[in-house]
Amino acid sequence: MEKFPFKFSFSMWIYYCSRLLTSLCLFPDVCKTFGSGVVQMFNGTIFYVHSTCPFTLTRFTHNRVDCDITVRRGENGLLEYVEINVNKIQTRILYNGTIFVEQRMVSLPYDHTYQHVFQYGTNTKLRSTVLPLSVIWSSVGVGIDSLWVKLEQELVPGMTGLCGRPDIPGQLPYKHIFYTSSKYIHYIECLHPNTSKYITLCQENIYGYEKELYVGCAFYKEIAHRCQTSHAWRTLTQCRNCPGELHFEEQGDAFVPTCSNPAPRTNDQDITSTCVCPQGQVLNDRAEGHYCVSESACPCVYAGRNYAPREERRTKCQTCMCNNGKWLCSQNSCPSRCVIEGQFVTTFDGKQYTLPGKCAYMASKGFNWTITIHFSETTSSIQYVFLQIYQVRFSHNSVQFEKEEIQELHQSDNAMVFWQSSMYVQVLTSFGMKIQVQTSPDLQLYITLPQSEVGKPEGLCGNYNTDTTDDFTTSSGIVENAAEPFALSWSVGDCPVNIPKVCINTDNEIFADEKCHTLRDSGGIFAKCYDHVSNKNTYLNWYLPSCANQGITVGDWRRATNCTVPCENNQRFDYEMQACNSTCLSLSRPDPRCGVEDAPVEGCGCMEGTHLTGGLTCTPKAQCPCHHQRGVTPPGPVGKLCVHCSQFAIDTAQKTCASLSKPISAVQNCTSGCYCPGGQLEDHRGVCVTVDNCTCQYSGKVFKAGQSVKTNCRTCTCHHAQWSCVDEPCPGTCLVYGNGHYQTFDSKWYRYDGNCQYTLVEDGCGREAGSFSVKVESVPCCDEALTCSRTIVLDLLGNVTLTLNEMKVTRRLQGGWASLEAEPLYSTHTVGLYIMISVPSRGLTLIWDKHTQLTVILDDRWRNRVCGLCGNFDSNEMNDLQISGSSVVSSPLAFGNSWKMATPPCSDVTNEVFPCQRHSYCSAWAERRCMILRGDTFKDCHLKVDPEPYYQACVLESCSCEFEGKFLGFCTSVAAYAEACSDQDVCVRWRTPDMCRT
């Protein structure tokens, strides 16, 4: 093969033009400009423009989104700059490859709500998320030698510019003719009738730029790329090759194997010119330069630092080793503990909730030990903690053993009690239980159990079995969905609900945000802990209790507007008062008012569990007088006996069906009043029955003996006031909606709002070949702060790919699936507002509202066999935020970033966005609007589905006030809660003509 010098003459350039000239292999809806001025229009027409003036390449409007792409060439013939304006966002690419978005220089990959910019083989690609548009360009350092504008669908109306319109037919034929040379094969003279025309085009491209190597190379590159030729032409023409240890491929995957992603998933559409490592090696993208290494030689990254292969990093509870570029970590060796800080509880298994009343509770109970907590009646703080059996009592700045004050240390065969400091007392028992109590400024309790106690304890702290789904097991043996009925079942005696919930209040929130800013300051004192403990948990452990101590209470509209209603004696005001069975008289005879159907009204009355006497005072049921025909005397005729504790004291707390499952107080309690005769108990309806006929309670409803309910994948039967439950196979449900609100298969709530495509759920998880994956990507509104819908991709590997977007489902077959019609793999149905896709063979169902909400339902067979943003479906929410390829659990940001799709590459989310801070003037509106979730409309659902996560999400969604976001966000959150209620058989009619009517 003859050699050619670096500097070509004009005749030599033309020689190679004639040797390499071929069809541009026309693709519809693609416009290109390359070399010193060659332009191929959308319809395939090719012409040449020699000018250094700026030109509009294309300009159009689609779905109210404007697009304008302008280019300008420099004196060397190459593009000097490209300016892309989409939806008023300006992206400017300079001759040296630097990229500016809104006049700010960015690095790759770059992600904006409206667009992604990333490396694409040897090129750079901008993909719009608001238009079916991609722009691809190649920068050679001294200019941009080629630029493509690709439309993913035909856009015609109003299109102007050099690219023209795709609907006007071109004049170029598609005929392909081949010829063979002694050294290589090219597609040659594909445009045989117009060969001379294209030689002329090549002459026009190179004329005056003979010394500009890149001008000619750009022309050759375009021909070779479209003709899928070998890269021999690069050797002949000395055009650019690859840097470092990489070698060139004319037609290769746009995304090459790297240490970060050694096996990138690509499709046949992502084929372009690229630089790759030798076979069996990957690019070390965690180091400077372009070096290829074996996968086993890849370093690992943690908290911004590189670790060499086999290098270890250690924390107090875990050891991790770098292996093949990924972390292999030991199990967490630190024992879990139960935390009770005021009314805020974290169970042994990590479930967090709030206590509803200032009562006495069974915190935790084992075979021969119990721990009870007793709240102050005036404040929402613990008054004292009592460790039974060992007779240790903790109170403010005090600890006593059998009423003897412990000043420093107490030690016996069963336990050791000592002061750790002036604020903390430690207890260590003979069987390995550790109890730490903070005695000032407020009492707080921390309990750690040995492994021998796994699965054994009961009470507020849960059962210590690493399964968070059964943490709300009541004293009667059934699992509640809401915290309130669960906690009340473990109260010692009656417990009025009287602890106000923490609420968002704008002024106090600003105050709290300023005070707590250091907790989430990435440059602050706690920053070094973020990689070990999620700062989300930091908020729950410190932030919320501190705000409650500042006096933040749940506001009602009367109080907020200074319209409060005073109540007499010990009555209280409520928005849902009912007359039925509200008086002492109603306990002795049927109340006729119960037969009148009417909605609750606002006003003063007695709280649940108390009844109104003739003196307009509320009294406990046991202290009500007994009414009969001859007056008010101890009732024999009505079936109950009057107990006078001063004459004959009995334990009246054990005279009800409800008391059979309640914790027993160490002290006998007697309250004078009317009780069922010996051998009988008062059921949940106030009727005297035998123990065999005792009723049970679940989610605020009363069930007769022998009745069964299905809940939480269990069938539970009422017997002797206790629930006897049998487990059943349990499907998992994952929910995503709005601007990044997630509930995992194991019911963990978190927020992560990224601009990339993410793995929602998949099997295999890098350990074995997978069979399916579900990916999601946000589709923004015209307001970049809002998500208007989602693009969902269901990949049934080896069979078919389904894409859900623009309110429809499209299908792309994969190679080898010939039995599509004979044996349908999936079914698609439209049910009301939703599209449902069922894949029975995979045990997978998707339910999509055609906008932002997606529900994924998996069969029980996938338990602990999946991964992604939906968690691992192992019944333990504490390990749901597990970083991809690792056992490390971290913050929602690090977790979400790890599940972004590596192809195309995306940047990490580094800061959590708080819309209520961005639009502070919307906060009050959002809070008032979202109170519907806490109010009467959904009251029947509150004991079955906790409204708080949905309320918090609603406020955040509604705070995006621009465009129509406040209504969109509000409706999305309320609809999500209504659907969750429906799943629990609670149907709520909440849509009105002026509220989210579809």
Per-residue pLDDT tens digits for 242-300: 777 888 887 788 888 889 888 887 766 778 888 889 888 999 988 887 889 999 999 99
Q: Give one DSSP letter per residue of 200-250, joined into a string.
A: HHHHHHHTT-TT-HHHHHHHHHHHHHHHT--THHHHHHT----STT-EEEE
- Alpha helices (runs of H) in 100-231, residue ranges in sequence order: 195-206, 213-227
- pTM comes to 0.68
pLDDT of 408: 65
pLDDT at position 622:
66
Highest mean pLDDT among 258-267, 486-495, 631-640: 486-495
pLDDT surpasses 80 at 994: no
Mean pLDDT within 355-363: 91
Cα Rg, the chain, nearest whole Å: 35
SS3 908: coil
pLDDT at 25 over 50: no
State the pairing for strand pair 708-711/701-703.
unpaired
Give the model's pLDDT for residue 171: 44
Phi, psi dihedrals of residue 935, rounded to the nearest 5° = -95, -160
Per-residue pLDDT band for 858 (boundaries 50, 70, 90) equals: very high
The tokens describing 65, both together, are: 């989104």
- SS3 assignment, position 280: coil
Q: Rounded to an integer, what distance in angstroms lies between the CA atom of residue 299 and that of residue 309?
A: 5
Instruction: Report whether 584 contacts 611 (CB < 8 A).
Output: yes
Can you tell me the distance from the alpha carbon of 922 to that of 913, in angstroms, rounded to the nearest whole number? 15
In this predicted model, which residue has the larger pLDDT, 67 or 438?
Answer: 67
Q: Kindly report the average pLDDT of the chain as a whole number.
A: 78
CA–CA dist 99, 498 (Å, integer): 58
CA distance 188 to 18: 9
The identity of residue 284, as a single letter, is N
Calpha distance 325→343 (Å, rounded): 44
Beta carbons within 8 Å of 636's beta carbon, 6+ residues apart:
none
Q: Tell me how far CA of residue 409 lies from CA of 425, 431, 737, in angstroms.
A: 10, 19, 54
DSSP for 168-204 reads: S---------EEE-SS-EEE--TTGGGHHHHHHHHHH
The average pLDDT across 349-367 equals: 90
- d(CA 194, CA 173) in angstroms, rounded, equals 9
Phi, psi of 696 (to 5 degrees): -125, 165
Looking at residue 516, what DSSP letter applies? H
Greatest mean pLDDT among 11-20, 238-247, 433-442: 433-442
Specify the DSSP element, H or E, that contains 11.
helix 10-20
Number of helices (H), then strands (E), in the chain: 14, 67
Among 277, 298, 296, CA closest to 287: 298
- Looking at the predicted structure, is the pLDDT value of residue 163 above 60? yes
Residue 340: its pLDDT value, please?
Answer: 92
- pLDDT for position 920: 65
Beginning with the edge strand found earlier in the chain, give each strand of the sheet holding 866-867 in spatial order. 808-813, 800-805, 787-796, 772-780, 757-763, 866-867
- pLDDT above 70 for 456: yes
Residue 859 CA neighbour count, 13 Å, CB half: 9
User: How many angstroms separate the CA atoms of 93 and 91, rounded?
Assistant: 7
Lowest mean pLDDT across 200-204, 748-752, 802-806, 883-887:
883-887
Q: DSSP letter for 123, please.
A: E
Reported as a single tens digit per residue, the pLDDT across 936-950 is 888 888 888 888 888
Q: What is the pLDDT of residue 21?
A: 43
Asked if 408 and 418 count as a contact pair (C-beta separation under 8 A), the reply is yes
Q: What average pLDDT does the segment 314-335 reach?
A: 82
Average pLDDT over residues 120-145: 89
